[in-house]
Structure 1
Amino acid sequence: MTPGADPTSYAPQTVPPPGETLKETLEVLGIPQADLARRTGLSTKHINQVVQGTAALSPDTALLLERATGVPAGLWNAREAAWRTQLAREVEELALSEHLGWLDRFPLRELVSRGILPDRSKNVRNLRRLLDFFGVVTPDVAENVWRGYQAAFRRSSMLSQNEYATATWLRLAEREARERDCEPYDRAALTALLPRLRELTLQKQDAWSVELPQLCAQVGVALTFVPALSKTNVSGATRWLTSDKVMVALSDRFKTDDQFWFSLFHELAHVLLHGKRLTFMDDRDNLSPGKRHEDISEDEANAFAADVLLPPQHAAAYQKLAATRYLSLTAIEAFADTAGIAPGIVVGRLQHDRIYDWRQGNGLKRKVTLG
């Protein structure tokens, strides 16, 4: 293979069978097959089967051929391995051609824009590329792997949206998280870090988008920002990659800072409060405080996020603000300044508590766009 060649771009019939090489070698050396059989102690029938490709050229035979022909055993072994690999690829090519319809289940345009596929062609090359992206061998295996996430998928409405787009988003996040260098997970250090993470809500995105992942990496959290794909409602995900490293992935599905920061602390709640065996994937439904969830862990994560963003020591002042008859944006900004938090987050809380209509106060929210 030439340098930089794509290993998934298989061109058939490019590797000669080892028997053909053996036949050419014997012709050059002037050694008949019967003479080679005598020299190696193998039967003439077996030598002919190797030449014809009906018998494999084993390592033992390669060593005998080295003695009789002077051609290194390593070369014979390499030719045999290359040939058998090519045959296996041809079988795989035929099998994969029956699964091209699997590509139709994915948002191909976005897979191309994210660099997962080179184009939207529905061919074996692209199917193999997609399987390589997921790190699996067949579509059936991929879906079996996703069933391992069923506890997470069941907690949200994401399956009713697009399971395949959601799985793609999660895989993008996982690959990025595995590349991120992190210190070993430290629960106490993460807990102590929460006030500092809360302070970052006051910064602009170009500042916190750099500092936030760095701080999280210091306590064993691989924080990744993955832009949302269409037909998905995913806002965040938590998955333990090892016992000492946890992935927290956030999307920009809802585009505003109140949603983004609530999602962050919701995911960190899963890290701190819940087990290391589950994968949590969250959407708008899971991020709805006060809604009865099927899984109590979502209620716990929501309560945790709410308390981090608006700690109990600010509860009385918030209640006073919420009780104001004619609530102004200036009053919200003053409270946010006292509480040390972004005013858009206060607006989001007021909207959730139905003090504000969902259309009110949005000018105080900051836009969050990833990627």
Structure 2
Amino acid sequence: MLTFFQVGSVDAWTARYGLANVAYRHSPKFKSSEFALATWLRLGEIEAEREECADFSESRFGHAIGKVRGLTREPIVEALQQTAKLCNEAGVALVLVQPLPKTALSGAAWWLTLRKAVIQLTARHKSDDHLWFSFFHEAAHILLHSKKGVFVDETNDNGAEQEKEANEWASSNLVPRSAWKQFVATSPRRAHVVRAFAEEQGIAPGIVVGMLQHK
């Protein structure tokens, strides 16, 4: 086990992967085991180490996020490939690691080195609203919060202050606040209204549906 995690002792494992060192947000319904969570993070670390990335650039990553927003309308496999390329060029490794037994994770954000950030997703929820909101949520952690933190998210419910900030940042970058406020004020219920708004915003309709469900 210690070889897999590349640590020399149990104490070293706890210092690196223990929940005390992870900004861990979970729901009462789903709670991942500490060992399963650590294993999932280590698998992501291995994948991230393999990805060739430029040195991190906040401006390039911000530009990439703008392009990713438009990619949400594309077929998911193609969109993720393009998203990974854009992230790599900005110094961010985007890795997808299947959820393990005893985990119920959406994603995580952390720094492999001072020059290489990591966004790790599970695609646990196959719908585009969950996947893309998770991506934007983790991107917020990279841009807004400490490089020393490991931010792990089971759900996209509001939690600690940093999680609220990440949720708000993700929402406003997917749909500008003013446009969202005006749209919600109309009490949209019909599918064609949602599709028209998504088309106007240049994002996938599923994202709008997901945001309406969680507003």
Residue by residue over 1:280-313, the C-alpha shift from the partner in whole angstroms, topping out at 9 and shown as x without a partner, is 11111xx12xx4x2x3111100100010111135
Query: 2:38, 2:166 → 1: CA distance?
Result: 22
Opposite residue 266 of structure 1, the aligned amino acid is H
Q: 1:266 aligns with which of 137, 145, 170?
A: 137
Note the C-alpha offset of 1:318. 1.6
Q: 1:299 aligns with which of 164, 180, 187?
A: 164
Query: 1:151, 1:145 → 2: CA distance?
Result: 7
Note the C-alpha offset of 1:139. 4.2
Query: 1:240, 1:305 → 2: CA distance?
Result: 19
What fraction of aligned residue pairs are identical, expressed as a percent? 37
Is 1:194 paired with 2:65? Answer: yes
Query: 2:84, 2:24 → 1: CA distance?
Result: 28
Q: Is the 8 A contact 2:43 2:97 kept in 1?
A: yes
Q: 2:92 aligns with which of 189, 209, 221?
A: 221
| SS of the residue 1:202 aligns to | coil
Ranked by relative contact order (alpha carbons within 8 Å, sequence separation 6 or more), the top structure is: 2
Q: Which residue of 2 aligns with 1:318?
A: 183
Q: 1:172 aligns with which of 27, 43, 48?
A: 43
Query: 1:258, 1:231 → 2: CA distance?
Result: 24
Opposite residue 314 of structure 1, the aligned amino acid is A
Query: 2:12, 2:143 → 1: CA distance?
Result: 31
Opposite residue 264 of structure 1, the aligned amino acid is F
Note the C-alpha offset of 1:246. 0.6
What is the 5 A alignment of 1:182-261? 182-261=53-132
Cα 1:227/1:154, change in 2 over 3 Å? closer
Note the C-alpha offset of 1:157. 5.5
Q: 1:308 aligns with which of 173, 180, 203?
A: 173
Q: TM (normalized to structure 1)? A: 0.54
Residue by residue over 1:299-357, the C-alpha shift from the partner in whole angstroms, topping out at 9 and shown as x without a partner, is 10010001011113522542244x24xx221221111111111001111111112xxxx
Note the C-alpha offset of 1:153. 4.8
Query: 1:248, 1:307 → 2: CA distance?
Result: 19
Q: Which residue of 1 aligns with 2:209?
A: 347
Asked which structure has the greater CA Rg, the reply is 1
Opposite residue 345 of structure 1, the aligned amino acid is I
Query: 1:168, 1:316 → 2: CA distance?
Result: 41
Query: 1:161, 1:346 → 2: CA distance?
Result: 28
What is the 5 A alignment of 1:328-339? 328-339=190-201
Query: 2:193, 2:105 → 1: CA distance?
Result: 33
When the two chains are superposed, the root-mean-square deviation of aligned CA atoms in Å is: 2.0
Residue by residue over 1:16-46, the C-alpha shift from the partner in whole angstroms, topping out at 9 and shown as x without a partner, is xxxxxxxxxxxxxxxxxxxxxxxxxxxxxxx
Opposite residue 233 of structure 1, the aligned amino acid is A
Structure 1, unpaired ranges of 5+: 1-129, 354-371
Deviates more, 1:228-237 or 1:213-222: 228-237
Query: 1:170, 1:352 → 2: CA distance?
Result: 27
| SS of the residue 1:212 aligns to | helix
Q: TM (normalized to structure 2)? A: 0.91
Structure 2, unpaired ranges of 5+: none
Opposite residue 339 of structure 1, the aligned amino acid is Q
| SS of the residue 2:117 aligns to | strand
Query: 1:236, 1:154 → 2: CA distance?
Result: 11
Query: 2:183, 2:197 → 1: CA distance?
Result: 8
Note the C-alpha offset of 1:144. 3.6
Residue by residue over 1:217-246, the C-alpha shift from the partner in whole angstroms, topping out at 9 and shown as x without a partner, is 111101111111121122111111111111
